[in-house]
C-alpha cells in the first residue's frame, strides 16, 4: 500500500475505474523514470470538497499523492485548496482587465487578475495534476467552477495562455478523483447523468491534456447513512489508485527494457 494511513485489509465490491482517455497510446510522459534516480517532476494537488480533510475525495487525493511520492521520491508536490481560497465571481471589470494588454492595464486591473495569474502559473509550473472533487448537482462543485473561470481565458496575452483550444498544457497528465453520492458508474441507472466526466474531458482536452485518468468513488451516501463502513468503502478506491501506479510502473519497465535490448 502506498499510504501508511490505510493499514487494514478490506474486501468490498470492485471500483468501476474509468480508463485513461488515451489508454494504450504513447504519451510524452512515457519516459518518466520511477524510484531513486528518477527525473524531478512537480505534481499539483487540487482539492475542492467543502467537507475538509475528512472528505472522501480528499482522502483519495492524499493516497494518490503518497503513491506519487513513492514513485517520484525526489520530486515536489504543490497543494491548492480551492475551499480556503476566496475566488471571486467573474464580473465586467475582470473581463475588461483580461482583454486589456498587460502594458496598458491599470494597477487596479492588475490586482483583479492577480489570483488568476497565480492559478495559471501553478498549472504551467506543474508536470502532472491530481484533482479531487465531489459531484454537485451532476457537475463540479462551485469552488472548482470558479477556479476554472479564472484559468481559462479568452485573452490572447502571452502571460495568460490558457485559452480553450490553445493546447497550452500538452504533454501533462491529469488524474481526476470524483466522489458522488449516488451510483454513476457505466451501466448504472444514473450513468447518463454523469455530466462531470465529459465536462472535464472537454475542458482539459481543449487545453491540450490528452493523458487523463478518472477514479469514480460513487455511492458515498451509503457511508453517510452508516450503511457501509468508511474504511471498507475507501478500500477498493484506494486499490484502484494503486493499480494506476502498478500499471504505469509495468509499462515503464517494459519501455526501459525494450530501449536497452
- Residue range 53-92, pLDDT digits in tens: 989 999 999 999 999 999 998 899 999 999 999 999 999 9
Q: What is the predicted pLDDT for the residue at 227?
A: 87
Q: What is the predicted pLDDT for the residue at 256?
A: 66
Is residue 8 over pLDDT 70? no
Weakest-pLDDT range from 34-48, 93-107, 156-170 = 156-170
Mean of the pLDDT values across residues 14-36? 37
Per the prediction, the chain carries an average pLDDT of 83
- pLDDT-above-70 percentage for the chain: 78
Residues 6 or more apart in contact with residue 63 via CB below 8 angstroms: 2, 3, 6, 238, 241
Mean of the pLDDT values across residues 166-178? 91
Q: What is the predicted pLDDT for the residue at 249?
A: 77
The three cell numbers of residue 55 are 472528505
| CA-wise closest residue to 135 among 205, 78, 215 | 215
Is residue 260 over pLDDT 70? no
Q: What is the predicted pLDDT for the residue at 25?
A: 39
Binning pLDDT at 50, 70 and 90, where does residue 105 land? very high
42-260: what CATH class? alpha beta
Residues 6 or more apart in contact with residue 26 via CB below 8 angstroms: none
- Phi and psi at 19, nearest 5°, equal -70, 155
Mean of the pLDDT values across residues 172-176? 97
Q: What is the predicted pLDDT for the residue at 168?
A: 86
Is residue 120 over pLDDT 80? yes
Binning pLDDT at 50, 70 and 90, where does residue 7 land? very low
Q: What is the predicted pLDDT for the residue at 3?
A: 58
Is residue 12 over pLDDT 60? no
Provide the whole-model pTM. 0.82
Binning pLDDT at 50, 70 and 90, where does residue 141 land? very high
Residues 6 or more apart in contact with residue 59 via CB below 8 angstroms: 53, 234
Instruction: For the beta carbon of residue 152, count every other beta carbon within 10 angstroms.
Output: 19
Is residue 155 over pLDDT 70? no
Strand pairing partners for 128? 43, 173
Mean of the pLDDT values across residues 208-228? 92
Is residue 244 over pLDDT 90? yes
Rounded CA-CA distance 221/234 in Å is 13
Q: What is the predicted pLDDT for the residue at 4?
A: 41
Mean of the pLDDT values across residues 129-153? 96
Q: What is the predicted pLDDT for the residue at 164?
A: 58
Amino acid at each position: 500500500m502506498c499510504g501508511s494511513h490505510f493499514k487494514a485489509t478490506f474486501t468490498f465490491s470492485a471500483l468501476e475505474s474509468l480508463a485513461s482517455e488515451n489508454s494504450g497510446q504513447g504519451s510524452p510522459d512515457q519516459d518518466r523514470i520511477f524510484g531513486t534516480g528518477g527525473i524531478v517532476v512537480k505534481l499539483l494537488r487540487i482539492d475542492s470538497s467543502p467537507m475538509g480533510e475528512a472528505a472522501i475525495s480528499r482522502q483519495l487525493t492524499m493516497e494518490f499523492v503518497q503513491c506519487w511520492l513513492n514513485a517520484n521520491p525526489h520530486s515536489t508536490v504543490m497543494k491548492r485548496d480551492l475551499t480556503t481560497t476566496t475566488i471571486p465571481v467573474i464580473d465586467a471589470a475582470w473581463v475588461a482587465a483580461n482583454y486589456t494588454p498587460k502594458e496598458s492595464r491599470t494597477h487596479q486591473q492588475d490586482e483583479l487578475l492577480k489570483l488568476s495569474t497565480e492559478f495559471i502559473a501553478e498549472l504551467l509550473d506543474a508536470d502532472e495534476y491530481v484533482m479531487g472533487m465531489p459531484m454537485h448537482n451532476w457537475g463540479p462543485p462551485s469552488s472548482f467552477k470558479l477556479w476554472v473561470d479564472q484559468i481559462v481565458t479568452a485573452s490572447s496575452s502571452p502571460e495568460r495562455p490558457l485559452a480553450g483550444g490553445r493546447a497550452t498544457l500538452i504533454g501533462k497528465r491529469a488524474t481526476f478523483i470524483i466522489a458522488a453520492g449516488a451510483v454513476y458508474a457505466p451501466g448504472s441507472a444514473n450513468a447518463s447523468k454523469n455530466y462531470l466526466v465529459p465536462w472535464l474531458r472537454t475542458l482539459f482536452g481543449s487545453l491540450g491534456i490528452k493523458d487523463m485518468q478518472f477514479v469514480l468513488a460513487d455511492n458515498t451516501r451509503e457511508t453517510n447513512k452508516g450503511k457501509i463502513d468508511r474504511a471498507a468503502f475507501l478500500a477498493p478506491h484506494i486499490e484502484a489508485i494503486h493499480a494506476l501506479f502498478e500499471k504505469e510502473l509495468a509499462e515503464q519497465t517494459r519501455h526501459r527494457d525494450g530501449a536497452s535490448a
